[in-house]
Chains A and B, each alone.
Chain A
Amino acid sequence: MSAQVEHKGTQAHLPPHPEKATMESRNKVLGFWFLIGAETVLFACLFGTYLALKDSTMGGPSTEELYQIPMVALATFILLTSSLTSVLGVLGIHRNNIKQVKLWFWVTVVLGAAFLGLEIYEFFEYVHEGHTFTSSAFGSAFYTLVGTHGSHVLFGITWIFCLLIQLSRRGLNMETAPKLYVASLYWHFVDVVWVFIFTVVYLMGKVG
């Protein structure tokens, strides 16, 4: 199967930058940036809400008692690395090298899943310590913000996973390449949001 697919993938006439090659692909990318602009506002509102409510703990654990920095650091490095691997996948598209595209996007999906696993484990820990969605305003704001980011990660890995299946079936062409490019933009955006979450939620929570 894989030999066939490789043949299919490498023989296609793929321009060096498929995401800029046609009007359709350029519009796809532009439209996606609009979505990113809108999502920025969504996350900004959740950040504002969290900052306003983070001290309303109703006698529950405070940010300083709750957060475990080593786990957050690990999650951060996993997500940062997955951002790099998805950009390496995009470089694979620019070289018309389907093997490279597949390898790096698969690594991205695996790293994304690892990040999600860590986050689920973290939420379990917090619930055990009495920090739940309904325990306080801090709890609601925290789980809404971090949970929305987590759901974006889940959506991202599902999306890239589906695109990888499509890539195996159809090869790297003008249909699949811009889709992967846009998915990698989404993935970087998820990473950008995480940069602010680890800074504003976790690190600032430790500073007090």
Chain B
Amino acid sequence: METEVQQNQAQQETDPTPESAVKHLLSFALMIGLTLVAFAAVMLEVVPAGMVIPFILVLAVIQVFLQLFTFMHLDLKNNRMTVTFVMMGLIIGAICAVALFVLG
């Protein structure tokens, strides 16, 4: 972390294109890929009928974690409090969603 900051400072003066954009572009390519696979799974009927819904849900969850940890710069070591609150939000949200779904 420290060294990264120092690198950024050094690059600011010399090189206007630090390497970090590569990580984001890579993550973006992965997200597009996951989205394409999800749409293909539904439209082309390549996945066994009973497996489609779990399959696309897993793809969605992977994509969300990509967003959280690359685009939103959430990292487990330095933002423990933030991660705790987000996870609490997710857990309470999941309980509410399932409860409403089951009751309905």
Contact = CB atoms under 8 A, between A and B. Distances in A.
Given A84-B28, A95-B18, A204-B56, A45 B71 contact: no
A45 B90 CA distance: 11
A115 to B, nearest CB: 14
Interface in A151-206: 185, 188-189, 191-192, 195-196, 198-200, 203-204, 206
Contact of B53 (A38, A52, A97, A207): A207
A38 B89 contact: yes
Interface string A39-53: 111011101110111
B97 A199 contact: no
B101 A83 contact: no
B96 A41 contact: yes
Candidate in B16, B60, B68, B86 with the most chain A CB atoms within 10 angstroms: B60
Given A40-B93, A51-B97, A204-B56, A188 B88 contact: no
A82 to B, nearest CB: 11
A139 to B, nearest CB: 15
B100 A204 contact: no
A29 B83 CA distance: 12
B32 interface: yes
B84 to A, nearest CB: 9
Contacts of A88: 21, 24
A16 interface: yes
Contacts of A196: 60, 64
B15 to A, nearest CB: 10
A87 B24 contact: yes
A91 interface: yes
B69 to A, nearest CB: 11
Interface residues of A, number: 51
A116 interface: no
A207 B68 CA distance: 28
A51 B104 contact: yes
Interface of B: 5, 8-9, 11-12, 16, 18, 20-21, 24-25, 28, 31-32, 35, 38-39, 42-43, 52-53, 56-57, 59-60, 63-64, 67-68, 70-73, 81-82, 85-86, 88-90, 92-94, 96-104
Given A41-B92, A195-B63, 12 more contacts: A16-B12, A48-B101, A48-B104, A69-B39, A80-B31, A83-B31, A88-B21, A88-B24, A94-B20, A189-B72, A195-B67, A203-B42
10 contacts: A33-B85, A36-B86, A45-B96, A49-B104, A88-B21, A95-B11, A95-B18, A195-B60, A199-B56, A207-B52
User: 10 tightest CB-CB pairs across the interface, nearest first?
Assistant: A52-B104, A44-B93, A48-B100, A37-B89, A48-B97, A40-B89, A199-B60, A44-B97, A16-B8, A84-B28
